Amino acid sequence: MLSVLRNRTYRRLFAAQAVALVGTGLATVALGLLAYDIAGEDASAVLGTALAIKMVAYVGVAPLIGAFADRVPRRALLVTMDASRAVVAPALPFVTQVWQVYVLIFLLQTASAAFTPTFQATIPEVLPAERDYTRALSLSRLAYDLESLVSPALAAALLTLVPYAWLFAGTAAGFAASGALVVSVLLPGPRPVERTGGPYARAAFGTRLFLATPRLRALLALDLVVAAAGSMVLVDTVVLVRDTLGRSAGDVALALGAYGAGSLTVALLLPRVLDRVGDRTLMLPAAFVTTAVLGALAAGTAAAPGAARGTAGHGTAAGPGAGGTWAWAALLAAWLLIGAATSAVLTPGGRLVRRSAGTPDLPAAFAARFSLTHACWLVTYPLAGWLAARAGPAVAAGALTALALAASVAAARLWPRTDPAELRHAHPELPDGHPHLAGTGRRHTHDFRIDVLHPHWPAR
């Protein structure tokens, strides 16, 4: 897997991604402490709103950036976004009002919404070979997993030496280092692409490409499965560990660590697996495994004493006895399996996007996936939080299981069993002598992708 790091351009881009992720992780810890300083017991509401603002920025901004990515040099765009984030992050410790936090978070996440899909669209051009790109996707997944494990530990170590406000300085340093690494390499230039319509049509093209391509519609359904399971882990772990199982605060970190360990392990193994099996063969079973584990969690939590409303009483109902020990081991196993299965869904997703879009359309396609994926999380985050708070984690797990099952079944139905790259289709709308018909005629076969000449998927 590490062989792709021999490519100098990719090596520096990967390093840029890694240091930016570490900076983002530091900001996550610092933001929680800042919210508590400003809002006190209402800190959770502030953080919840900040997360919602983040998702709104991701859903709304990414398609707009994708629409105009073919007009802006990629290196200039990436470096500008890193510079913007490096300027905004250090301003956060100086705010005194909650609304100021929201404004700065929106600016910070808007820059991220421009940076991330553009970065993702650049990698398949830097590493055009399928085998190399697969390994790059696994390394990217690995970087995200390590960020979730390393950044909190690094933040804890720094907080023994400096006030939390200095963590934002670490965030700015991460973004500045990322920008310096990006500016040190030459990146493929933007490729002009022919599209009809005005700015709205350009912004909507990536979404239309997704909704018109069967395998990408299936990918969107699979992303909803991941969001359902991931929201249960990220939002409700603290309730399950502290209230339902009555365990210590340190065990919350251990449970989240099990989730990250499962994801990390699969990310390391996937390159060899994907050399032998197809994306559909791997991703669909992984989605059903995720759903099954969520369902088992819902059933097990419902059977636990006090689980109906998550009030086990901090150890009184499911504490350190034999039953509590088995429940704790089961939760760790569930989080490990969910981490592994969701990684098996997420990691190959970039391969499907690259396969489904021409090179000039890659920025729009990755921007659309970025936006649509976060729209899934915008649904599942509040679902996991509100249901757990009002009806208990068992009900939240049950609802998310139903959502994941529906999405898994939809993905299996949407993704054709035989999914060849080349499809036979006709062009009755093109005039005689059109360059696309040269040497082939109106009915021909080629590697089919949605674009200005092929706005609809051919019937089979």
pLDDT at 69: 63
Residue, of 307 and 115, whose pLDDT is higher = 115
| Interatomic CA distance for residues 303 and 50, integer angstroms | 34
Question: Does the pLDDT at position 343 exceed 70?
Answer: yes
Domain extent at residue 367? 199-414
**305 and 216, same structural domain?**
yes
| Residue entry with tokens 């791997």 | 282
- DSSP state string for 346-414: HTTHHHHHHHHS-GGGHHHHHHHHHHHHHHHHHHHHHHHHHHHHHH-HHHHHHHHHHHHHHHHHHHHHH
Q: Is residue 357 part of a domain?
A: yes
**394 and 245, same structural domain?**
yes
pLDDT category at 37 given cuts 50, 70, 90 is confident
**291 and 410, same structural domain?**
yes
Least confident of 172-176, 290-294, 335-339, 428-432: 428-432
| Interatomic CA distance for residues 233 and 49, integer angstroms | 19
pLDDT at 222: 97
Least confident of 64-78, 100-114, 195-209: 195-209
pLDDT in tens, 371-402: 899 899 988 888 888 888 788 889 999 999 99
Domain boundary among 175, 191, 209: 175
**258 and 165, same structural domain?**
no
pLDDT at 315: 43
**391 and 262, same structural domain?**
yes
SS3 call for 443 = strand
pLDDT at 313: 43
**147 and 231, same structural domain?**
no
pLDDT in tens, 230-260: 989 888 888 888 788 888 767 877 888 888 8
pLDDT in tens, 150-159: 776 677 778 7
Q: Is 392 left (phi over 0), alpha (psi -120 to 50) or beta?
A: left
User: What integer best gives the mean pLDDT of the chain?
Assistant: 84
pLDDT at 148: 67
Q: Is residue 421 part of a domain?
A: no
How big is the chain, counted in residues?
A: 460
**226 and 154, same structural domain?**
no
Q: Is residue 441 part of a domain?
A: no
pLDDT at 405: 98
Question: Does the pLDDT at position 306 exceed 70?
Answer: no
Q: Is residue 36 part of a domain?
A: yes
Could you give the number of structural domains in the chain?
A: 2
Please compute the mean of the pLDDT values over residues 281-296 and round it to a whole number: 96
Nearest alpha-carbon partner for 119 in 71, 168, 69, 83:
69
pLDDT at 192: 59
Domain boundary among 175, 190, 216: 175
pLDDT category at 307 given cuts 50, 70, 90 is very low
pLDDT at 48: 65
pLDDT at 213: 93
**211 and 160, same structural domain?**
no
| Interatomic CA distance for residues 368 and 117, integer angstroms | 8
Question: Does the pLDDT at position 199 exceed 60?
Answer: no
pLDDT at 71: 72
Cα atoms found within 13 Å of the Cα of residue 173, Cβ hemisphere only:
7
Q: Is residue 93 part of a domain?
A: yes
Q: Is residue 82 part of a domain?
A: yes
Q: Is residue 233 part of a domain?
A: yes
| Residue entry with tokens 């009184």 | 316
pLDDT at 450: 86
CATH number at residue 356: 1.20.1250.20
pLDDT in tens, 401-429: 999 999 999 999 999 998 888 888 888 88
pLDDT at 200: 59
The gap from C-alpha 27 to its chain's centroid, in whole angstroms, comes to 18
pLDDT in tens, 39-73: 776 665 676 677 778 888 888 877 777 666 667 78
Residue, of 284 and 36, whose pLDDT is higher = 284
**210 and 110, same structural domain?**
no
**213 and 169, same structural domain?**
no
Q: Is residue 269 part of a domain?
A: yes
**203 and 118, same structural domain?**
no
pLDDT at 85: 93
Instruction: Say what percent of the chain tops pLDDT 70.
Output: 88
Residue, of 390 and 318, whose pLDDT is higher = 390
Task: Extract the tokens encoding 63.
Answer: 């398609």
**205 and 169, same structural domain?**
no
* CA dihedral over 88, 173, 8, 10, signed as positive or negative: negative
